[in-house]
Chains A and B, each alone.
Chain A
Amino acid sequence: MTDQMAADRTTNIRRILREHGRLSVDTESLAVDADLYQAGLTSHASVNVMLALEGEFEVEFPDHMLRRGVFSSIAAIRAALEELSGS
């Protein structure tokens, strides 16, 4: 995956968090390794974030990825998506 593709993926994750995460902070200024739960992500909102990620990236998180840690930071989400897409 090129640097540009990685950057685009991060941008899209930030957009999804802005639209569905209901965070108490600005998603644009959020560090990639910042804890999203500390930033206000609730269990309820994390479900909506997961659904939006699956729709955006046309993937389906397998059972072993359906856990809290996978959605705990932008970096963790990006790593999970990279694992799913094999890049």
Chain B
Amino acid sequence: MTRLRVIGGLHASGYRRHTLHVDERLWVEKNCYVDVIIEMLHALGHEPLAAMGFCAAIDFEGDNFTFFKPQHEELRELFGVDLQELNVWRPLLDHATEHLGAGKLISTEADSFWLPDTAGTDYRRNHVKTTIIIAELDSTAGVLGYFHNASYHELHGEDFDRLFRRGEPPDPTFLPLFAELVRIDRMLHRSPSELAVLAAGRLAVHLERQPAANPIARFGERFARDLPSLQAAGLAHYHAWAFSTTRQLGAASELLSLHVGWMAEHGALPSEVAATAADQLMRLSEMAKAFILKGARAVSARKPLDASASFEEMAQLWSDALQGLGRAVRVPT
């Protein structure tokens, strides 16, 4: 079988990440799902910054901040990229061969244990669920090209076989991983200004969905209550907690800041409004970054931490930024 490559010119070596994933970002990696969507859109020639308005609607859910991701409808409207669930009724490798051969991509859950780009964290060390997008496949040579986290990578050999469970006897206790089919046959390449106008309308819709009570204020109250149990559970537990809460808040704030800056750059938002909101959101994101480290210290050393002033400031920054943006955008009629 020849190599199936859905996106022409895409190679792991020398791959240039989107600016949302460069080292200068406060949160280079946001969450596994949105990270691969960003890089997939970028590789397809789209501007993922246009699709980040959903960050305005994140909420604090008690043991999680919203694990944010773009809505399928939005990806279709902005870029003509269509995601649908793939019913994995046969081996994933068979599905991948079929659909990559037909010019489609596959987004799938995967085990980081077999993903060599996670060397230093989970590769050959921990079994952790993550999301990848398969863009290139050669099942004869056992080579896979895939988007994961902040970049595009390649794996082969044993990693390929184990990722796809190739050569393993059928295991009735193994449940198939969640997967989605990404159709790109009806893509739309809009001008930046047209995209920015659409994005501003989408942002207005997301702002209407924002929670009635400030999510950061509720996060702060919960943290104050939970700190003793976090300290009792230790640092490994804290890392998992912080990924689901503080990191999502910080990364969403940074994404939203860059989103509104991009819209202003393309004339869809008054520059003063955008600059003010972008600064407020970036400040919030920096504070979340510092809070992750302060929280780790409090858990590790079992020291008290009164973070109420920080939470109060972050909540105010969030509220001010969203109110400012809400006055500047309108839901499309």
* Complex interface: chain B residues within 8 A of A60 (CB): 297
Interface residues on A, range: 20 to 34
B82-119 with Cβ < 8 A to chain A: 119
Closest to B243 in A: A44
Q: Is A11 part of the binding interface, using a Cβ–Cβ cutoff of 8 Å?
A: no
Contacts of B242 in A (CB 8 A): 47
Residues of B in contact (CB 8 Å), total: 22
Query: Which of chain B's residues have a CB closer than 8 A to the CB of A67?
Result: 26, 286, 289-290
Q: Say yes or no for B29: interface residue by CB 8 A criterion.
A: yes
* Among A37, A50, A68: residue with most chain B CB under 10 A: A68
Q: Which residue of B has the minimal Cβ distance to A60?
A: B297
A54 within 8 A of B: yes
Tell whether B239 is near chain A: CB-to-CB under 8 Å.
Answer: yes
- Tell me the chain A residues, 34-86 only, with Cβ under 8 Å from chain B: 35, 37-38, 40-45, 47-48, 50-51, 54, 60-61, 63, 66-68
- Contact B121 A42, beta carbon cutoff 8 Å: yes
Total residue contacts A-B, CB cutoff 8 A: 52
With contacts A50-B296, A51-B300 taken as known, whether A66 is within 8 angstroms of B289 at the C-beta atoms is yes
Which residues of A sit under 8 angstroms from B292, Cβ to Cβ?
Answer: 43, 47
- Chain B residues whose CB sits within 8 angstroms of the CB of A40 once the complex forms: 119-120
A37 to B120, CA, bound (A): 11
Contacting residues, chain B, for A44 (C-beta < 8 A) = 121, 239, 243
In the complex, what's the smallest C-beta–C-beta distance from B286 to chain A, in angstroms? 7
Interface residues of B in 283-333 (CB under 8 A from A): 286, 289-290, 292-294, 296-297, 300
The answer for the CA separation of A22 and B61 in the assembled complex, in Å, is 32
A12 interface hit (Cβ, 8 Å): no
Chain A nearest CB, measured from B283 CB (Å): 12
User: Contact between B293 and A61 (Cβ–Cβ < 8 Å)?
Assistant: yes
Q: Flag whether A16 is at the interface (Cβ < 8 A).
A: no
Closest to B247 in A: A43
A51 x B120 contact (CB < 8 A): no
- Residues in B neighbouring A42, C-beta threshold 8 A: 120-121
B23 interface residue (CB < 8 Å to A)? yes
A68 CA to B294 CA, complexed, in Å: 14
**With A24-B119, A42-B121 known to touch, is A66 a contact of B23 (CB < 8 Å)?**
no
Across-interface contacts of B119 in A (CB, < 8 A): 24, 40
Q: Which of B27, B286, B296 contacts A51 (CB 8 A)?
A: B296
User: Is A63 touching B300 in the complex (CB atoms < 8 A)?
Assistant: no
How far in angstroms is the closest Cβ of chain B from A50?
6
Least distance between A65 CB and chain B CB atoms (Å): 9
Give the CA-CA distance A43 to B289 in the complex, in Å: 10
A-B pairs with beta carbons under 8 Å apart, 5 shown = A22-B121, A44-B243, A47-B239, A47-B296, A68-B26
Residues on B facing A (Cβ under 8 Å): 23, 26-29, 119-121, 235, 239, 242-243, 247, 286, 289-290, 292-294, 296-297, 300
Which of A's residues lie within 8 Å of B, judged by CB? 22-24, 35, 37-38, 40-45, 47-48, 50-51, 54, 60-61, 63, 66-68
